[in-house]
A and B are shown apart, each in its own frame.
Chain A
Amino acid sequence: MLRTQKALWYDEKILRMMVEANCVRFDSLLLDNGATLAPVDVAYETYGELNAKKNNAILILHAFSGDAHAAGIGHDGGKPGWWDNCIGPGKAFDTSRYFIICSNILGGCRGTTGPPSLNPATGCPYAMSFPVITIADMVRLQTMLIDWFGIERLLAVSGGSMGGMQALEWAVAYPERVVSAIPIACTTRHSAQQIAFNEVGRQAIMADPDWNNGDYYGSKPPARGLAVARMIGHITYMSDDSMREKFGRRLRGKQTFGFDFDVDFEVESYLRYRGSEFVNRFDANSYLYITKAMDYFDLSNRQGSLATAFAATQARFLVISFSSDWLYPSYQSQEIVRALRTRNRDVAYVELPSNYGHDAFLVDVAEQTDLIRGFLASTFDKVQ
């Protein structure tokens, strides 16, 4: 099953953690919608060392557009991982103490099986024949990866945004396998507003003629639609304050208005750049499937109420929200905390002050670091 061996070392010259992408193939995965996906590849990276007791493993769960490259410097391209400021020696997720795993989600386009993957039955990419997946499906695939590592219980599951949803799903669906969960800037279910933003993104993609009902592999991808979807996303990840701070009404490379529809403002330039950059690394069909999985996610739905859903949990929880996050507002995190309290679960919660909006969990990490480090240390003490 193993394609490549785990490799991890420190490059002395640049003092950065060098990491290698890995991939493992599983025979099949049964999905919530009844379909079976076979085979399934999972792309993952690991950092740090698994101890002999196998009780220091932490699963990091990426957000909507993330991937398995969470930390360190990849050998291809040399870009630091998306949570490199939180994962590494001495950081919040301290790789000198813990064994960190991060895998690309099911339905993704960064190594794990998703719509752009080849369907062995047809020899063509799945495209829109890919089954509709759920957050629970993503997590079920992650349990297979954890089994493959021979790890029974994870010291922690953690992630922000959709990563937080997966952390909650882990704690609810596999209570005996999770010692602690750190869901950050997330929710147990999307509100109408959150579904609405996702739907606008999907419509932007599907309105692009190049989308061609999802059948664009080998030809021109729906770059304009995907870029517009990403621009909308970026607006929701920032805050009024952070946009004012970053762009204000500053003009881009000009003193006066152009009196045309080229870029005038810095903010336009930024969004266009972000949009076009995203097209190079993300698949439009993956965008459709993953946003749909987020919209379907509802922890309370399965069990009747959130409190009932949390009844089975055994984990300690650290719930974190950010004051300026209007995409996943603090009230949604507080709902998690309140439901856990009705079950008298061990839960810590804080709303961190930040101007960065939803992006705060990725960029404003100084205070998060102290919290997570302390929480993990005391959790690790309890399992010794």
Chain B
Amino acid sequence: MTAETAKRQAFVPELLGRSDYAIIGEIVEPNTKVLDLGCGEGELLQWLAENKGVDARGVEISGVKVQRAIARGVSVYQGDIDEGLADYPSSAFDYVILSQTLQQTHRPLKVVREMLRVGRRVIVAFPNFGHWAVRLSMLVGGGAPKTKLFPYNWYDSPNIHFLTVRDFEALVRVERLVVERRYFLAGRRKVWLLPNLLAEVAVYLLSGSAG
């Protein structure tokens, strides 16, 4: 790595212990309406509500997590992302966020299309299955990859659709989506070169179809 590329690798501050949250926190504009899919215990939504004055809503499948989110004062409903968006009117939100959950949905394409229907903009963050450590794990070990990003055994993994940065770019082209911004992260560093090989997490800010 040259001195010049090292300089370009800016560090991303962590938000609630996660660098993708920091980027999402930066992207979301104040006083907007935000829906977070797979919002867990609502930490990100609570942060956005308190720091950006957003109208924060969430969907989460785990009842225990929903309880904790509601107890924090965040409006979360217990439901399935794959089914749950159908009820919303179009353009109901300024942002629909899907953070590290796309690979866990049953029908990712349907979810992405639905997100773009109910949100003016969509923020998708996903772990990159093309990262070199994943490739190496499979190449050397010969088994289903187990890495820091994908720590599960194949039989108990919540991840059911594995995708790489390259795969997502292909989807963007096929679906004619508009990428407003894209971020690639390795730990807390921004990745500028070879994101499909070097990025652990990718964050995309998308808006509707280019037609």
Q: Which A residues contact B (CB, under 8 angstroms)?
A: 316, 318-319, 337-338, 341-344, 346-353, 367, 370-371, 373-375, 377-379, 381
What residues of chain A lie closer than 8 Å to B89, measured between beta carbons? Answer: 342-344
What residues of chain A lie closer than 8 Å to B87, measured between beta carbons? Answer: 338, 341-342
Whole-angstrom distance between the Cβ of B87 and the nearest chain A Cβ: 4
Let me know if A377 and B73 touch, CB within 8 A. Answer: yes
* Count of CB-CB pairs between chains A and B under 8 Å: 64
Given contacts A342-B89, A346-B57, A350-B78, contact A374 B73 (CB under 8 A): yes
Segment at the A interface, from B24-32, B63-71, B193-201: B63-71
Is residue B182 contacting chain A, with contact meaning CB distance below 8 A? no
Is residue B77 contacting chain A, with contact meaning CB distance below 8 A? yes
A11 to B74 Cα, complex, angstroms:
36
Chain B stretch 61-104: residues in CB contact (< 8 A) with chain A: 63, 66-67, 69-79, 87-89, 92
Let me know if A346 and B73 touch, CB within 8 A. Answer: no
Task: Give the one of A348, A349, A351 with max B CB within 10 A.
Answer: A348
Instruction: Across the A-B interface, give the 10 residue pairs with the lowest CB-CB distance, nearest first.
Output: A378-B73, A374-B71, A349-B77, A341-B87, A370-B71, A348-B75, A344-B92, A350-B66, A348-B70, A371-B70
Let me know if B77 and A347 touch, CB within 8 A. Answer: yes
What residues of chain B lie closer than 8 Å to A379, measured between beta carbons? Answer: 73
* Chain A proximity mask over B41-66: 1 for CB below 8 Å, otherwise 0: 00000000000000101000001001
Give the interface size class of chain B: 20 to 34
Whole-angstrom distance between the Cβ of A186 and the nearest chain B Cβ: 16
Which partner residue on chain A sits nearest B89 by CB separation?
A344
Which of B63, B69, B70, B75 is within 8 Å of A351, CB to CB? B63
Which partner residue on chain A sits nearest B87 by CB separation?
A341
A379 to B57 Cα, complex, angstroms:
14
What residues of chain A lie closer than 8 Å to B63, measured between beta carbons? Answer: 350-353
A353 to B67 Cα, complex, angstroms:
11
Which partner residue on chain A sits nearest B35 by CB separation?
A344
- Known contacts A316-B75, A347-B75, A377-B73; 16 additional CB pairs below 8 A are A341-B77, A341-B88, A342-B89, A346-B57, A346-B75, A348-B66, A348-B75, A349-B79, A350-B67, A350-B70, A351-B78, A352-B63, A352-B67, A371-B67, A373-B71, A374-B73
What residues of chain B lie closer than 8 Å to A370, measured between beta carbons? Answer: 67, 71
What residues of chain A lie closer than 8 Å to B67, measured between beta carbons? Answer: 350, 352, 367, 370-371
Whole-angstrom distance between the Cβ of B41 and the nearest chain A Cβ: 12
What residues of chain B lie closer than 8 Å to A353, measured between beta carbons? Answer: 63
Which partner residue on chain A sits nearest B72 by CB separation?
A374
Whole-angstrom distance between the Cβ of A231 and the nearest chain B Cβ: 33
Whole-angstrom distance between the Cβ of A292 and the nearest chain B Cβ: 32
Let me know if A337 and B77 touch, CB within 8 A. Answer: yes
Let me know if B71 and A348 touch, CB within 8 A. Answer: no
What residues of chain B lie closer than 8 Å to A378, measured between beta carbons? Answer: 72-74
Which of A347, A350, A375 is within 8 Å of B73, CB to CB? A375
Whole-angstrom distance between the Cβ of A373 and the nearest chain B Cβ: 7
Whole-angstrom distance between the Cβ of B22 and the nearest chain A Cβ: 24
A377 to B76 Cα, complex, angstroms:
15
* Chain A proximity mask over B173-185: 1 for CB below 8 Å, otherwise 0: 0000000000000
A70 to B88 Cα, complex, angstroms:
37
Let me know if A381 and B77 touch, CB within 8 A. Answer: no
Let me know if B77 and A350 touch, CB within 8 A. Answer: yes
A351 to B80 Cα, complex, angstroms:
13
A20 to B57 Cα, complex, angstroms:
41
A122 to B89 Cα, complex, angstroms:
56
What residues of chain A lie closer than 8 Å to B55, measured between beta carbons? Answer: 346
A284 to B128 Cα, complex, angstroms:
67
Whole-angstrom distance between the Cβ of B67 and the nearest chain A Cβ: 6
Task: Give the one of A341, A342, A373 with max B CB within 10 A.
Answer: A341
A374 to B70 Cα, complex, angstroms:
6
Let me know if B88 and A344 touch, CB within 8 A. Answer: yes
Let me know if B92 and A375 touch, CB within 8 A. Answer: no
Which of A338, A341, A344, A375 is within 8 Å of B70, CB to CB? A375
What residues of chain A lie closer than 8 Å to B70, measured between beta carbons? Answer: 318, 348, 350, 371, 374-375
Give 11 pairs: A residue, B residue, CB < 8 Å, sorted on A.
A316-B75, A341-B88, A344-B89, A348-B77, A350-B63, A350-B67, A350-B76, A351-B78, A371-B67, A371-B70, A381-B73
A119 to B76 Cα, complex, angstroms:
49
A351 to B76 Cα, complex, angstroms:
12
A377 to B71 Cα, complex, angstroms:
9
What residues of chain A lie closer than 8 Å to B92, measured between beta carbons? Answer: 344
